[in-house]
Chains A and B, each alone.
Chain A
Amino acid sequence: MINTVVDIGLLGLLLATALLMMRSQSPLSITILSSIYSLIICALFVVLDAVDVAFTEAAVGAGISSVLFVAVIRHDDEPSNNKRGNNKLGNDAPELKSAWPSGLSICLGLALGILLISGTADMPLYGDPAAAIHHYLAPRFLGQSGAEIGIPNVVTSVLASYRGYDTLGEVVVIFTAGMAVLLLLAFMPDQKIKSEVEGVSTTKRRGKPPRLWSRRTPLIANPVLKTVLLRFVPIVILFALYVQFHGDYGPGGGFQAGIIFGVGLITFGLLADSEKLQNVISERMVISGMAFGVLLYGAVGVAALFFGGNFLDYSVLSESQTAGQHLGIFLIELGVGITVASTMLSLFISFHRRHFNQSQDEFPG
């Protein structure tokens, strides 16, 4: 009963937030609404028993995503060739449209929605224990993973072992995104379309090789914030380590830990000045870290091949099956954590980097 009330309340909040987001025109307020939306859906996930997913959604949707959006929106200190002087990104958008969406997309959306809702008629009801999905694969995961893998968190068992290959794919996706952002924001020279001249110019700046920490002054200069937040950094990092190594027993795991770890370092980056942070972590370390996690994950898989098992078959890594599974899951979660933490750091840095000089010849580090 209480569950139902909470569920319905959260659904209502979600809808309200989504409608507000449709209406809002300012990128900053949409971003803030989107992080609220993430928190609500995160609470909903808890109600729906998906604690691991909620954890991830909180870290990703309300955390990293919002940080990235804000980083892009406040990235307004670049020289702009827009004629307006104090041009804030996105806020210069002319109000060509009314705040509400146009008729065509509403119609399309409504048509799709009605079609979809009519399609729900054959779906199993909420929480129905007789639904097909609870009777085929899930009983084995719930019933056997204790004996086969030996860790209490079944989500981790599924994620890291039964479907470990998907997780390898997931790490590779993160790695790909890291590489993509690095390529787009760090390596490519900027192009500009000039409104006066009919044409395109590829401007290439020569100069010092790009430095990851090009911002010399800390982003947060307020002494109160600085003092308080600086105390938090070690706690955040400690918590990340807890989440990393306790993921087998409770909600959490490499991915969440990686994000939290990354956030800890990002906070430090916001507070400390550039030299200090560069002493802690160099650019080369960040890039290598992204690759190292993937390689560690892959190495576990390849090691299984050499021990005579299939790819990612952890059971062959040690004498007993569960010991092998423990070892394998530990290592791959570590790989996930390293890649995710480095990628988060790299994303943050890339988005906060000023318009910097492009080097043609030097690889960073």
Chain B
Amino acid sequence: MPSSTDASINQAAAQAQLKKVKKQKVLLMGKSGSGKSSMRSIIFSNYLARDTRRLGATIDIDLSHVKFLGNLTLNLWDCGGQEAFMENYLSQQRAHVFSNVGVLIYVFDIESRDVERDLATYVNIISALGQYSREAKVFVLIHKMDLIQSTNREAIFNQRVAVVRRKTAEAVAILHKHQPSPSSLSESEGGIDLDMHLFATSIWDQSLYKAWASIIHDLVPNLGVIETQLASLGVAIDADEILLFERTSFLVVSRWSSHEGDRNPYGDRFERMSNILKSWKHTCSKFTGTPRNAEQFTEFEYKMGPTFSMFVTKFTANTYILVAMPPGEARFNSAKLNVAAARPWFKFLDGPPVSAGPPGQIPAGLGGYSNEMGGMAAEA
């Protein structure tokens, strides 16, 4: 352990580095029946995909505050998609709805009969957004992909992506013409440049987790600190991969892979793990009869002979951690102890009172502990 003075200096630095509670306005928009509320319920309220059938239409705007980790609150504006509401958002409530937006999530129903009309609405929304919150990030989800036969999915998605991109560019161009803003003019001839991402999603598979993990990824405060801490932990315990999940949604907050872990051919493994663990949580809640939002499991260990070992465990109050590592009994046990010992270094995830220990790196003592433990156990 570093000396106490070091610790206090580091602590002060950490305090300066760690940001306070952050509120983010997230707009969830799209045509009525496109599945906005369903996905929100699955991600944040632990609904099962099939339970979403029970959801009725959202009337006007359904405001919810989702606490994500200790120091991020999502102000989720689930905007009912019926045309009357849409017109209202674009006219009377325009400033109210579209100002200070952090993220716009726009949902397209792939099965929609009237694509032209959907796109026209989308263009209007983008214009309004460009007018009031030009910093906002835009995520476009092409939803209900499960209704397309799997062989055609990619082609249809790409086609739709091209259309949406073209329309967005048009909307941005018009916006630019009507409201030339000095700041954007000076930048480049492109003017307002939208930070836009597109995803193909379905509530029936892991694609939903991929999209949402990417949405929240940019919103998580102190991500840099989390990443460096995870990396030091990973090196110290000899892991191949570490994933950090948010407790309720099981979205991947951050991850680290060793050089070897990076060779994993399964590029979709992060959202897949979210999906697996979340449905496992459902299974547990069904078995125990405890509410879905309650904590369901504390510990999950799996050792696959001489191939690999892994464990998932409750980490900080708001997170779970998954560690995949090389096989070996001694290595496994010391890794578990070390992960437990590293908890205080991630305390800041539970904010808002910033009380993190020395950030940046795990002290050398921890690494030494690992080897020492391992050596002892290996001898025994």
Q: Do A and B come from one complex?
A: no
Residues in chain A within 8 A of chain B (CB atoms): none
Residues in chain B within 8 A of chain A (CB atoms): none
